[in-house]
Structure formats: structure tokens, C-alpha cells
Amino acid sequence: MIAKKFRLPMGNFRAFPSQTLKSSSFLVKFHSNRLNYNRFGVTISAKVEPKSTRRHFFKRLFFDAIKNWPPLGKDFLIIVQANISYVPPETVKSEIHLIGQKIQSL
């Protein structure tokens, strides 16, 4: 998991216009913040994965993959889609890495 400082307050995210990047198994919405570090939030609905243990597994997977992203001063919200249960974790990590590279180039 990540420190509380780097967690995104989910309620405030809707107030700002955001850019969106889509992967085959998740969606990343992001916008700039006034901080020198990134903040992250991962949303996995119970409709996507009914068992909370699996939802927490995927949250940890995302947080482990994004902890090495350079500080860009942005807020990131990752919305997981229903097909995540059928995708191998290595594929998810590689997709996260590709999305991170796209965001750095923007």
C-alpha cells in the first residue's frame, strides 16, 4: 500500500476536469494538482469482483506498479473494468507501465 499522503481523496476528484487514457482492463483519469507529488486512487466495484479479497489483491497490484512513477504533480484515478479477473497480473503490470509512459509524454 501507499502512504496516506499519496492517496487521492475520491470525493474531490469530480470537481476538476480530467484527461482520460484507456487500457483493455482499466481506465485512468488524471488532472494536475498543486502539489509536488502524485496522488492515486483505485476504484473496483463489487460488480467487477464480488469478493473483497480479490478486490484488495488488485488494489495492491495497482499500487505496487505505480509506486515507481516519477512525481508529476497529478491526481490519478484508476477505474477497473469487469474483465480484470481474466487478465494475468503480469499483463496488468505491463499495461500500467505503458499508461505511465503515455502520461509522462503528455
Tens digits of residue pLDDT in 60-106: 999 998 888 888 889 999 999 988 888 899 998 999 999 989 988 87
- Residue 15's pLDDT is 67
- Listed by start position, the domains of the chain span 4-105
Tell me, which fold does domain 4-105 have in CATH? Ribosomal Protein S5; domain 2 (3.30.230)
As a whole number of angstroms, the distance between CA 84 and CA 45 comes to 11
Length of the chain: 106
Residue 101 burial by Cβ neighbours in a 10 Å radius (0-12, 13-18, 19+): exposed
- Mean residue pLDDT of the chain comes to 87
Pairwise pLDDT comparison (103 vs 12), residue with the higher score: 103
For 14-68, what is each residue's pLDDT tens digit? 767 778 999 889 999 998 888 899 999 999 999 988 999 999 999 999 999 888 8
CB 39 within 8 A of CB 77: no
pLDDT at position 106 is 78
